[in-house]
Each structure stands twice: as structure tokens, then as C-alpha cells.
């Protein structure tokens, strides 16, 4: 190798190292800004939004308590503080999510092709819409599910659910529904890379229903048949709609 070739190689390696350092510096800056967004949202949640958010989040259980008696229970001295802090952080993340999403998009978009950007602009809104719809569906079925679960309590027992456990259970249930509703996006991705197609999905729909039932049993926090059924039904409907979405991708291809 000549001296000129060695110099060219050295310059090329230096350029790659410099580009990597610049990308890492940009990533660090965007992460710091995202943390600032969450911090500001957390302060707003602590000072302004916590009472309304807690009331809305605990409403499915509060409805049962108001009809059948009982009350929420706090057993630890610092439980109230930690509950408020956790929910304020959650509020902060929710408020900052649009800005965090923008920071992520601004970081990755320069490295994407026009076709990749177009695909992301189509999939991202659909994914967000499905997640919000899943959370709303989970929140909607919670009162009936909690009512069924509470009716299984032993006779004469006073229902006094822990605030921490109640909030955690409701959040897990809503998150499980939100993630389950991402199934069309996952199936569209698998179709895009050529792993599945609409004909295959139609042929093995029975196996898909069994798989959906297993997934619902695994991700449902309470693991009761009522909640699993309420999750299975919309997922089966989404699977049927996904066949049409996959067929549309095949036609476009």
C-alpha cells in the first residue's frame, strides 16, 4: 500500500469517527431536551393535573365502591407521595410525547430515503391511533371487568382496594389493550418484508384466533376470562381488517 493510499484511508477513518461523534453528540442533546420536556410536564402534572387525572384513572373502581360501599385504602405513610409522584411522571411523559416524537423523527429522518419517510408518515399515525383506541377500549371495559372480579370476593368481606394496586392494575390493563391493538401494524410490517401475505392469513385464520387467545391470556393483568374475552373480540376484528390492509400492500407492490 502506498503512502497516498494510507493517507486516504486515514482521512476516511477520521471522517467516519467524526461523523459518529457528531451523531452521538446530537443524540445526547435530543435526549437531554426530551428529559427537560418530561420534567416540565411532570411539574405541570404535580401542580395542576394530578387531581383530575387520578379521578379519571380510578373512576372504574370508584364506580363500584360508590354503589356497593367500601373505600380506597392506603397503608403506608409515604404511599400518597409516591402515588402522586408516579402519576405526575406519567402525566409528564404523556404531555411531552409529541415533542419527544418530534425529537426522534428529527434525529432519524436525515438517514431515511424518501420511500422510507413516506411509509413512516403513513404507519406512525395509524400506530398512534390504534394505541389510543386500544387504551380507550381497555378503559371502557374496565368497569364491567372490575364489577365481575369484585363479585368473586368472599361473602361479608369489605372491599377496600389499595390505591397503589388499583392504579397499577388500571394502567397495566389500558397498556395491554393499547399494545394488543398494534397487531395490524405488526402484520403490515411482516407483509412488507414478505414473511406473510393475505392468502396465508385467510388460510390460517383459525390458528390465528388460537394465537390471539394465547396472547390475550398472557398480557391481560388479571388473567380472568372476562377481560381476556373483551380483549380477544376486538383483536379478532382487527385481524380481519388487517387482511384487507395486507392485500392493499400487495396491490401497491
Residue 10 reports pLDDT greater than 60: no
**Rounded CA gap, 183 and 242, in Å?**
8
**Rounded CA gap, 123 and 119, in Å?**
6
Angle (CA) 214-136-127 rounded to 5° is: 70
pLDDT tier for residue 38 given thresholds of 50, 70 and 90: very high
pLDDT for 84-98, tens place per residue?
999 999 999 999 988
Is 162 strand, coil or helix? Answer: strand
Instruction: Write down the pLDDT at residue 8.
Output: 41
Helix (H) and strand (E) counts in the chain = 9, 0
Q: Which residue has the cell 372504574?
A: 60
pLDDT tier for residue 81 given thresholds of 50, 70 and 90: very high
Q: What's the pTM? A: 0.78
Task: Give 158's DSSP letter.
Answer: -
Instruction: Write down the pLDDT at residue 2.
Output: 55
Alpha-carbon distances, residue 149 vs 22, 152, 201, 225, 228 (angstroms): 54, 5, 35, 10, 13
DSSP 72-111: -B--STTHHHHHHHHHHHHHHHHHHHHHHHHHHHHHHGGG
Q: Which residue has the cell 461523523?
A: 19
pLDDT for 203-224, tens place per residue?
889 999 999 988 888 888 777 7
Indicate the average pLDDT of the chain: 83
Q: Please name the residues in contact with 162: beta carbons below 8 A apart, sequence gap of 6 or more.
A: 72, 73, 74, 75
Given a contact cutoff of 8 angstroms between Cβ atoms, the answer to whether 222 and 171 are in contact is: no
Is 157 strand, coil or helix? Answer: coil
Per cent of the chain over pLDDT 70 is 91
Residue 43 has which C-alpha cell? Answer: 411539574
Amino acid at each position: 500500500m502506498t503512502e497516498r493510499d494510507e493517507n486516504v484511508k486515514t482521512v476516511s477513518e477520521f471522517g467516519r469517527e467524526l461523523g459518529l461523534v457528531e451523531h452521538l453528540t446530537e443524540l445526547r442533546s435530543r435526549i437531554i431536551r426530551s428529559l427537560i420536556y418530561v420534567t416540565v410536564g411532570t411539574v405541570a402534572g404535580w401542580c395542576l393535573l394530578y387531581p383530575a387525572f387520578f379521578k379519571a384513572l380510578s373512576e372504574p373502581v370508584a364506580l363500584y365502591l360508590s354503589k356497593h360501599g367500601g373505600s380506597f385504602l392506603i397503608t403506608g405513610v409515604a404511599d400518597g407521595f409516591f402515588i402522586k409522584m408516579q402519576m405526575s411522571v406519567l402525566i409528564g411523559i404523556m404531555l411531552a410525547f409529541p415533542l419527544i416524537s418530534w425529537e426522534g423523527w428529527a434525529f432519524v429522518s436525515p438517514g431515511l430515503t424518501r420511500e422510507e419517510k413516506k411509509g413512516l408518515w403513513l404507519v406512525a399515525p395509524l400506530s398512534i391511533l390504534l394505541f389510543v383506541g386500544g387504551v380507550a377500549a381497555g378503559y371502557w371495559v374496565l368497569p364491567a371487568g372490575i364489577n365481575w372480579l369484585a363479585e368473586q370476593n368472599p361473602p361479608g368481606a369489605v372491599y377496600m382496594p389499595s390505591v397503589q394496586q388499583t392504579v397499577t392494575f388500571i394502567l397495566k390493563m389500558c397498556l395491554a389493550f393499547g399494545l394488543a391493538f398494534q397487531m395490524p401494524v405488526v402484520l403490515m410490517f411482516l407483509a412488507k418484508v414478505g414473511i406473510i401475505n393475505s392468502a396465508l392469513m385467510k388460510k390460517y385464520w383459525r390458528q390465528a384466533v388460537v394465537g390471539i387467545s394465547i396472547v390475550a391470556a398472557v398480557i391481560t393483568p388479571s388473567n380472568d376470562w372476562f377481560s381476556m374475552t373483551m380483549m380477544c373480540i376486538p383483536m379478532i376484528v382487527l385481524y380481519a381488517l388487517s387482511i384487507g390492509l395486507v392485500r392493499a400492500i400487495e396491490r401497491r407492490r
